[in-house]
Amino acid sequence: MIAALREVYGNPSSTHSQGQAARQRLEAARRTIAEALGASSAEFVFTSGGTESNNLAILGILRALAGKPRHAITTAIEHPSVLECFRQLEREAFEVSYLPPDRHGMIDPGAVANALQPQTALVSVMHANNEVGTVQRVAAIAALVRECRAAGQEIYLHSDGVQALGKVGLDLDVLGVDLYSVSAHKIYAPKGVGGLYVRKGTPLHGIQLGGRHERERRAGTENVPGAIAFARAVELCSADEPIRCSTLRDRFEERILAIEGVERNGPLAGRLPNTSNLLFHGISGEALLIALDMQGMAVSTGSACSSGSIEPSHVLLAMGRTVDEARSSIRFSFGRYNSAEEIDRLAEVVIACAGRLRKAKAREVQLV
């Protein structure tokens, strides 16, 4: 990518030879990524990342269907870049059904079937949840949507695949979605690039105004070095990595779940290989996060709000956890560059910090 920044400086929309060289590299990158997703080049639009992909998918398709259908279905556990689009649509007099998950964070395809209406235009269900890792039954939901379409309804399926890319086997043709969002930095490429899969024949209006880039679906000069890096990161994804990662994760969970008052959030199986969301009863997740960070270990609780403070996770609340339980939960994510030794060290530090926090808590309670 550093070479690309230096050497591929042309604007891919320019006619001159430097521009043509950039165009070639951009299209080669697009082909690599599209193939890895089981799609064709024309079906892949580069964006600035997951948030833009989700915005483009949801707002773009509903603008393309302007005025006709007035209902959409999504879930209560989507990423804010999905949920906020639907909240905006509600303000524009659109009707939206938010499906609740079960206690493991799973959306029942039967609930989707029940929520479908003749005027439903869009279903948006994330492929894998970012906080607890639950992998949704997207193919089953896609079958429902296809049935409606076969009956003459104009209806499309979007899935936010930002967390799933590189962690679950992916063939979008088999999955059966019409729109699928991905982000490059989730597979170790730089931040600031992502993409949207748009199945052939799916109507989509660009949501930013400007030039006719990306087949009029995304105005703005393409991030060529980002695209090249994205493609390279896709090539570097190994099929064995998810298994290695889940082995590390399970080793960690086994040790932590052995201490008293710790529970898993999310399912044991049917989960992303890198995610472990744990509830430490009676401990502030924020305090544990800070204590771990002070020891050089970066973990997270819910999603950080704009101030950097932490709201109780809407995902855990939707799964039936109380506010206190949500505030006592921490998400551990493991990755390609974590070793078994690091995992063991992390487990040790987590156990020590949790113990210290429990003692501190007991002391405060005594004082009262």
Residues that bind other proteins (CB under 8 A): 284, 286-288, 290-291, 293-294, 306-311, 323, 327, 353, 356-357, 359-361, 363-364, 367
Other Cβ atoms less than 10 A from the Cβ of 174: the count is 11
Ramachandran bin of 266, using left for φ above 0, alpha for ψ from -120 to 50, beta for the remaining angles? left
> 32 or 284, CB closer to other proteins?
284
> 228 or 289, CB closer to other proteins?
289
> 122 or 291, CB closer to other proteins?
291
Compute the chain's Rg from CA coordinates: 22
> 306 or 339, CB closer to other proteins?
306
Q: State which H helix or E strand residue 354 sits in.
A: helix 340-367
Cα–Cα distance for residue pair 203/294, rounded to 1 Å: 49
Q: In 127-152, which positions are buried (b, 16+ CB within 10 angstroms) versus exposed (e)?
A: bbbbbbbbbbebeebbebbeebeeee
> 232 or 345, CB closer to other proteins?
345
Best CA proximity match to 315, nearest among 134, 181, 136: 134
Structure letter (DSSP) for residue 23:
H
Least distance (Å) between residue 311 CB and other proteins: 7
Cα–Cα distance for residue pair 110/297, rounded to 1 Å: 40
Least distance (Å) between residue 348 CB and other proteins: 13
Cα–Cα distance for residue pair 52/160, rounded to 1 Å: 11
Please answer whether residues 71 and 120 qualify as being in contact, where contact means their C-beta atoms are separated by less than 8 angstroms. yes
Q: Tokens representing 220?
A: 């703005």
Cα–Cα distance for residue pair 153/66, rounded to 1 Å: 15
Q: State which H helix or E strand residue 209 sits in.
A: none
Verify whether residue 305 is a known catalytic residue.
Answer: yes
Least distance (Å) between residue 327 CB and other proteins: 8
Least distance (Å) between residue 298 CB and other proteins: 12
> 139 or 323, CB closer to other proteins?
323
Least distance (Å) between residue 293 CB and other proteins: 7
Give every strand in the sheet of 156-160, ordered side by side.
44-47, 194-198, 179-183, 156-160, 120-124, 71-75, 95-99
Least distance (Å) between residue 90 CB and other proteins: 17
> 25 or 327, CB closer to other proteins?
327
Q: Which residue in the list 85, 237, 245, 305 is annotated as catalytic? A: 305
Cα–Cα distance for residue pair 62/72, rounded to 1 Å: 9
Least distance (Å) between residue 131 CB and other proteins: 16
Write the burial class of residue 1 (CB in 10 Å: 0-12 exposed, 13-18 middle, 19+ buried).
Answer: middle
Which residues are the active-site residues? 305
